[in-house]
Structure formats: C-alpha cells, structure tokens
Structure 1
Amino acid sequence: MYAMTNAADGNQILIYTQSGDDIPRLNARVSTGGRGSGGELTSPVDALGSQGSLLLSEDGRWLFAVNAGSDEVSSLEVTSSGLVLRDKVPSGGEFPVSLTLHGNLLYVLNSGGDGNITGFTVGEAGRLTHLNGSTRSLHAGGTNPPSFLVSPAQVGFSPAGDKLLVTVKGSNDIHVFTIGVDGLPGARPVTTKSVGTRPFSFSFDTHGHLLVAELFGSHGVGTPNSGAVTSYKLRPDGRLEVLDASVDNAQTATCWIAVDGQGRYAYATNNASATISGYRIDEDGHLRLLDDGGVSARLPPGSAPVDLSVSRDGRFLYTVNAGRGALDAFRIDPDSGHLTPLGEVGGLPVSDGAVGLAVD
C-alpha cells in the first residue's frame, strides 16, 4: 500500500505492508522529488479536492504521483528493495491533482486556473515524455490554488481506453474526450451535466458502468446528509445515459468511490460524516445500499476520510483519513459486501493534508 504526505516542504510516499494479522504497518518513506501543496492552500482535510493523485500501474511496476506544490508529476519504479524515483517532469499546467493510465499513455489533470488535461508517454525506464498537442483546457475559470468546491476533481480512462473522462465540481460537468489512435484527445469533449450536485470522483465497474460520487446528490450545495452516487452507461459517442439517479446514502460530503475487483460492490467515503457507504451493483448498473442508513462502516471521530482503495483480490478496503493522519483497513465479506474493521495505523501528517492511496 502506498499513501502520500503532500507535504509542502517535500512530498513523500509512505509504503505500508500487510502482516499476518491483516493490519498494515508503515515500512518506509520515499521522496517524490517534488513539493506537495500542504494543507493550508485549500483545506487541511482535503488538500487536493480530487481522486487519483497517486496511481499504481496494472502490472504493479510503476507508481505515479502528483506534486501539486511544484506543478510536477513523478514516476517511481516498484522494485524488490522499495520505490526508486525514475523521473520528474512539469505537469503541463497548474496544481496537478489526478492521474490516469492506459497502456503507456499517462494523463494528468491540472486543476488550477482554467484547468487542463495533459498527456505523457511512459518509457521502458519509467521516463515521462510530454505528448505534443495533448493539452486541452477545461475552461473552469478557477483560481490557483483552486477552490475545493468548484475545482476539477478527477481524470480517468474508460475501460477500453478510447475515452477520457473529467469531472468538474463547480459546473457540474462530466466531460468525455474521445482518444485517437495517436493518443490525443478530441478537440472538444462531449459534456453531460451531472444528475447530482458537485460530481466528484468516479469509477467503472466490471461491466463498464460509470459510478459517480456526488457531494450533495439531488440537493443544493451545502445540504447535510445528502451524499449520493449516480450510475451511467457510457455510449460510444461519449454521451452518458442515466441508469440510477442520485442514490442517496444520507451521509455528508460523499467524495471518493472505489469498486471491488468483481464489480459487485462500490464503496464511497463521506468526508464530513466520517463514514463509508457501501452499494451493491447489479449487472445492469443499478445500485442499492448495502446497509440501513447508508453506513457500512464508521471511522474514528475527526477522521475526515479522503481517498480509498480496494485490494486487487477484492478482500480488503483501505482509507486515508486526513484528519487523523492515518490509514484504516477493513475486510470485505465476499458474500454480503459488509465491512469488518481491522485497525488503524498512523504515520501520515495531519497539517499537510495527506492524500492519495494506491494498493496492490
């Protein structure tokens, strides 16, 4: 497991290993070579306002990290002796917050100012080469550093790698760019207005359905206990067809979402409620809550959970709790999807707004 400090005086990756009792333990720290944003720029308990700031390749060989404070992206190799920094390049914009990878094509979301997406190719030695002509402005009209409630939140490839999606909280837009054979996005995206208010993070299930976490669901900005998840079908032309609209979980600030490897369950963290909401996903992409009241797990008071991730074997769920500077672990019941808490381990800073989680 890898988590990120986002420290302004020197960004670091913390490496956790799982022992026989299934509780993660802090094993090592490695510098990204860049600077994080620190917690004072936006919010100490959600410093980047994004999902995907730390990304592990499918083969587990490469780890990529954003350095929001120095506007850079780092490439690190996963070796038997630990992480090794292989490259660090300008992100192509201001305040990089999210990464996505398909094959050797890496895209970064820069959320500062107007925001943009910029592409890179990943070489055999982990070298990152800017893809000429790949930058597309999001015309978000924001600031640098960006404001948490309105900034672009995530960039992600579709499962086939032919589409690139971006959520923008302030405009409630979900942009879908078609990727050409040259790896470049189309000049203009197909844009769908989110069903719910403030679309944040997203994930795809194994059938290709898009699940989007919404801070305030079908309610207005700032409404408590109104978090939700909407499921969509992604059409070949980039349009999004609503399957289940804003399935409420009665929790506050639903921001991050992850799907288990079998595509049966989705889990969302609720920052202000310090809870996790689980959903069952059927084969048609429809959703229903796993637990009454929308609470599949409660975290310690003040946790302020941000990123979460499911292990590749689907057995465990992990969360980064920025408010406590800790990592929490849960076992997933394969038959019901219910979560069993395993414990918490510290090591992450609180004041710098720790973010990012990648699990092998």
Structure 2
Amino acid sequence: MHNDAKDDRRAVYVMTNATPNAIQVFHRAGDGMLSPGASYPTGGNGHAPNPPLGFPILESQSALVLSRDGRMVFAVNAGSDTISSFVVRRGGELQRVGLVSSNGTRPVSLALHEGVLYVASADSKSIQGYRVGHTGELTMLAGASRSLSGSGIATIAFNRTGDVLVIASRGDGEPMGSLETVTVDDHGMPGPVRRQDVVKAGQAPFGFTFDRRGHVILSNLSLTGDSSVSRYSVAPTGEMRLIAEQRIFTTAACWVATATAGPSTFAFITSAGSRSVTALRVDRSGSLTPVGPLSATEQAAFTSGLALDCAVSMGDDFLYVLSPDGFSVPPFTGAGPAVVHGYRIEPSGALTSLGPPVGRLPQGATGLAAV
C-alpha cells in the first residue's frame, strides 16, 4: 500500500453530532495508533433523535468529509441546518473558516469533488450545491438545488469524475428504498433527478462509495440478518446497472469504505446490529468475493458496540470504525460512550486489530474521516 498523506497531518476526525456540535481530532501515529487531540466547535448544532432503530445517530454516511488532499474538512450541522468548513493545520489541527445555510432541513450527508460540494437534507428531501474557495469557504450556487423523491436519505456522493451525483435513500415509510442520480456540469450545476427503485423486499440501500473503476459499492441493510452488498456501474447519463451482489449474513449493514493494495481493491462494510466488519475483494471481473470465511459468526472483525461509520486512511493502510459501546443487538438499547476501533489492512484484505479502542465520544457521534 502507499502513503499519500503528509506525516505532519495524519489524523482521524469524528463529529460529535451533539449540541453544540464539534469535531474531535485523534492524532495518528505511523503505526496507525490513535491519541486524542483537541475538539473544535463547528458553530452549529448536531441532531440526536431517537429514530425507529433506537439509537441517536444521523443514520447517514459522509456527514463529515475530507478534501482529496486532506487539507479541508466539511461537516453537517443537522440540528441547525448549516454546513461548517475547516482548513487542516500542521499536526492535523483545525481552523474553522466558514458556516453556511444548507438551504434544506436536517442536512445529513455531503459529497465533494474538487471545487464543488453538495449537501443532502433528509427532512426537506433536497440537495444544494456550493462552490468551494481556495481557503475552504463555501458559496451557495444559485439554481443548484433539486428536490428528491426518496425518503430516509442516507448518502450522497460524486462519482470519480465528478459529473454524476448518486443519492441513496432507505425508503422510510415506503415499500422500498431508491437510488437517485443527478448529472452535474463543469460549473457544478445539476441536471434533472433520475430515480430507480433497486431494493428487494426486506432490504434498504444505505451507504456506498466508488471503487477505482468508478463503480458504486452499496450496502443493503436488513434487520433480519440478511444484509447484502451490491456493485453498480454508473453511466455519464446517470443510468445505473447492477453488476454483482454478495450476501454477507449480517444485521443492518450500513457504512462502506474501500482500500487499494497493489492490483487489488477491498471493500469494508460495517453492520451495526452484528457489530461486525465484512471484507470483500472487488474483482476486476465485476464480482464481490469474501476475504476469508463469511457467515453470521465469521466476519473480518467484530467491534465492542454497534459498528457504525468507517473510514480508510489516505495511505490505504488502516481502517477506523466508530462504535458506541454498551449497545446490544436490536432494539439497540444500552449505555456507554462512542469509541474508535483501529485495524491494519493486510495485503490480503484481512484486518488486524490495533488494540483497544480509543476515545470517549457522545453516543450519537456520526461522521468519521481519516488522513
């Protein structure tokens, strides 16, 4: 694996999602070990409801995102309908440089490509685009708002070329979830919204990322131990086509991260209800192949509490997982702070624990990013 991140900026960032909201910094050593650093107010409020699944998080991926070079951090403030922007200083420390309206209600997920950022707001079922300045300030793009049809918005992300946005919605209160796509021009302006229903009975789309071939790797959550992972191609028009699907035998598979090791790409999926991390090899042929045994009791790793947000360091060497300690399987009741588990990603795609988890964060912490 390679290491693109500068040594003086190695860090892991976690959003507290509290009121007031803040970003907690964890300094990352060369061996992947974390040590707590300072906490930086976002200038807004988080949002910790008691949703149907019973734990106080945003139920979204990419509530906190990094720029590709690791020099800027952006976060949603779901309780005050705003977005905060930070620049990363030496040692991984943060300086807030902006706070803008999300132009929507309860922003939950962010998509960033070069100088354009989009936010998806769950309660207003909408997206809004912004221009990102050289110092991280955000300027709202007039006319760059679109209404969505899907309920329970979970994730928004750009494809690798930045000309298509994909939005996954769980379908709360609807028969099924959906994926929606929006083309984006060179000026960051959106085209029409294109929707396709993709979910089988008993499953709902949640988190996703793009592999290096530009395919979507999507988690399909199930509350009955039958979660799966899908791989889709995305055409420049926004049309999506299913390439592969792999059953992973877990409950509430939600968050997805990928890492590259030489010619191989690996996808890591965290399942809240199973407290597990699943590892899949993303094959060139299009298939998704388990790394090692895969069953309800055999996964790549298990966390001390619910397995929530996950992120891979920019060098593709380490995986970090956010986990509220003390929570049980459904109905997800319990007490305890949220902690961060760390794993070394082996060349085979296997995971090796870095030791006991670190941190003491609010239970509703949502959003994780790693440099």
Q: Within 5 Å, which residues of 2 pair with 1:224-243?
A: 224-243=224-243
Q: Which residue in the other structure is 1:10 paired with?
A: 20
1:315 aligned to 2:314? Answer: no
| Alpha-carbon displacement from aligned partner over 1:32-64 (angstroms, at most 9, x marks no partner) | 010000254676635111100000101111100
Q: Which residue in the other structure is 1:338 paired with?
A: 350
2:137 counterpart letter in structure 1: R
- Gap runs ≥5 in structure 1: 141-149, 217-221
Say if 1:46 and 1:306, in contact at 8 Å, map to a contact too.
no
**Which of the residues 26, 33, 38 maps onto 1:23?**
33
Q: Which residue in the other structure is 1:123 paired with?
A: 133
SS of residue paired to 2:309: strand
Q: Which residue in the other structure is 1:169 paired with?
A: 170
Q: Which residue in the other structure is 2:257 paired with?
A: 258
SS of residue paired to 1:27: strand
Say if 2:110 and 2:118, in contact at 8 Å, map to a contact too.
yes
Q: Within 5 Å, which residues of 2 pair with 1:1-360?
A: 1-7=12-18, 9-19=19-29, 22-40=32-50, 45=55, 47-80=57-90, 82-113=93-124, 115-140=125-150, 150-170=151-171, 171-186=176-191, 188-196=192-200, 197-216=203-222, 222=223, 224-245=224-245, 247-262=246-261, 264-294=265-295, 295-300=299-304, 303-323=305-325, 324-334=337-347, 336-343=348-355, 344-350=357-363, 353-360=364-371
Q: Which residue in the other structure is 1:144 paired with?
A: none
Q: Which residue in the other structure is 1:143 paired with?
A: none
| Alpha-carbon displacement from aligned partner over 1:132-184 (angstroms, at most 9, x marks no partner) | 001101134xxxxxxxxx50111110101110110111042111111123311
Q: CA deviation at 1:232?
A: 1.0
1:316 counterpart letter in structure 2: F
Say if 1:12 and 1:32, in contact at 8 Å, map to a contact too.
yes
Indicate how the Cα distance of structure 1 residues 80 and 230 shifts in structure 2: closer, same or farther if over 3 A, else same: same
Q: Which residue in the other structure is 1:147 paired with?
A: none
Q: CA RMSD in A?
A: 1.6
Q: Distance in 2 between matches of 1:328 and 1:44?
A: 22
2:114 counterpart letter in structure 1: G
Q: Distance in 1 between matches of 2:177 and 2:141?
A: 28
Q: CA deviation at 1:209?
A: 1.4
SS of residue paired to 1:273: coil
Q: CA deviation at 1:304?
A: 1.0
| Alpha-carbon displacement from aligned partner over 1:223-256 (angstroms, at most 9, x marks no partner) | x1111101111123221111113x1111100000
| Alpha-carbon displacement from aligned partner over 1:234-280 (angstroms, at most 9, x marks no partner) | 123221111113x1111100000011035610000000010001101
Q: CA deviation at 1:66?
A: 0.3
Say if 1:17 and 1:26, in contact at 8 Å, map to a contact too.
yes
Q: Distance in 2 between matches of 1:61 and 1:20?
A: 19
Identical-residue share of aligned pairs (%) = 35
Q: CA deviation at 1:357?
A: 0.5
Q: CA deviation at 1:80?
A: 1.6
Say if 1:110 and 1:117, in contact at 8 Å, map to a contact too.
yes
Indicate how the Cα distance of structure 1 residues 176 and 252 shifts in structure 2: closer, same or farther if over 3 A, else same: same
Q: Distance in 1 between matches of 2:107 and 2:53?
A: 16
Q: CA deviation at 1:2?
A: 0.2
Normalising by structure 2, report the TM-score: 0.87
1:209 counterpart letter in structure 2: H
Say if 1:105 and 1:122, in contact at 8 Å, map to a contact too.
yes
Q: Distance in 1 between matches of 2:236 and 2:185?
A: 13
Q: Distance in 1 between matches of 2:30 and 2:259?
A: 22
Q: CA deviation at 1:29?
A: 0.6
- Gap runs ≥5 in structure 2: 1-11, 326-336
| Alpha-carbon displacement from aligned partner over 1:94-149 (angstroms, at most 9, x marks no partner) | 00010011111000010114x10100111123221110001101134xxxxxxxxx
